[in-house]
Amino acid sequence: MSRRPLLDLDLPQLEASLAAWGEPSYRARQIWHAVYQRGVVDPAALTELPLALRQALDEAFTFRALTTVAHKTSEDGRTTKWLLGRSDEAARIESVLMKYDRRRTACISTQAGCGMGCSFCATGQMGFVRNLSAGEIVEQVLRLGQEQSLTNIVLMGMGEPFHNYDASLAAVDRLTDPDGMRFGARRITISTVGLAPQIRRFAGEHRQVNLAVSLHAATDSLRDQLVPINQRYPLETLRQACLEYLETTHRRLTFEWALIEGVNDGSDQAQALARWVRGMLCHVNLIPLNPTRGYAGRATETQRAEAFRSVLTAQRIPNTLRVRRGIDIQAGCGQLATEAAITNAPADAGNPLDVIPRAAPTEAPINPAGTPSRPRNL
């Protein structure tokens, strides 16, 4: 009998499982605290439990569903990426630990692959494989937290968190649970490519978690090309959802903008962006593009990036020009997973990504027209 991932259970489910064995509810809380606060990964380490219960846990549950397939650390030692996977499938996900002077940020995946199809993104080029469970999302944080004490968590890795809404937010609930990991909600950021209904749903939940929107273009004609979901939720629809979020939560929004040379880094886009965000409580993060195999675009040079930024600054729009991290280890989301697929492809393979078998997805990706689309054959 296969063992169930323990991290896929919330506390009431764990209590119910132990109650079925005749165990009192406080035993579940002991296990919960050990896993989320002490980072226990082996039932044998739960010495506060009776031996028989430890053995039963070992037979029924696995404390880690993922294994490390590969990991890389940048030359400056500040960025480390892990390639993770389950032993029963070939799908891979990525987690990244970024070290700054005062911060240690974990960048976490919520899906294997992505159905949003952003043209410049390695994960978008892969297509949708499957949603991650809440436990698999949480496990990434616990793993990276064992490496370094974390100050921030961003759901900005592989996948669209709001396309896997329930699992992504269930994971956030586990991480912020006062009886669990006790991570501060305001130190967690969820990034979305702009799924307007989910932004409204998120606003209505009045969470303290931060929200970032991957914008990348301020005209529909360009955003349709870079971010195809814009064809379903165009900029005005997205803007209204953002305004509703701001009115409901009174929390600042972050807009992400990947600067691509000669594509979205001109003064026309800067002016359009300034008009689009005018009146919003927001911050714009400008990020020079991370190169990918499947997209010919290049990162904007520093001088041109600063010129773009100056347009925003002149109109008093808060902004930051971020320094790219981990280029030497393919730290951009999906890059290491794609490279692994290419490296392991047979010599006679046509599309190297075709060699990766897929588990059946739990939710079909959304295509720009608004109807469910079949996941790409990876």
**Catalytic machinery residues:** 94, 333
Cα-based distances in Å from 274 to 40, 224, 267: 48, 19, 10
CB contact at 8 A, 194 and 213: yes
Q: How many CA atoms lie within 13 A of 92 on its CB side?
A: 27
Q: What is the DSSP letter of 231?
A: G
Phi, psi of 321 (to 5 degrees): -100, 105
Q: What is the DSSP letter of 372?
A: B
Closest of 284, 126, 112 to residue 213, by C-alpha: 284
Query: Coil, strand, or helix at residue 280?
Result: coil
Name the residue type at position 55: Q
Closest of 154, 65, 152, 78 to residue 333, by C-alpha: 154
Q: How many helices (H) and strands (E) does the chain have?
A: 12, 14
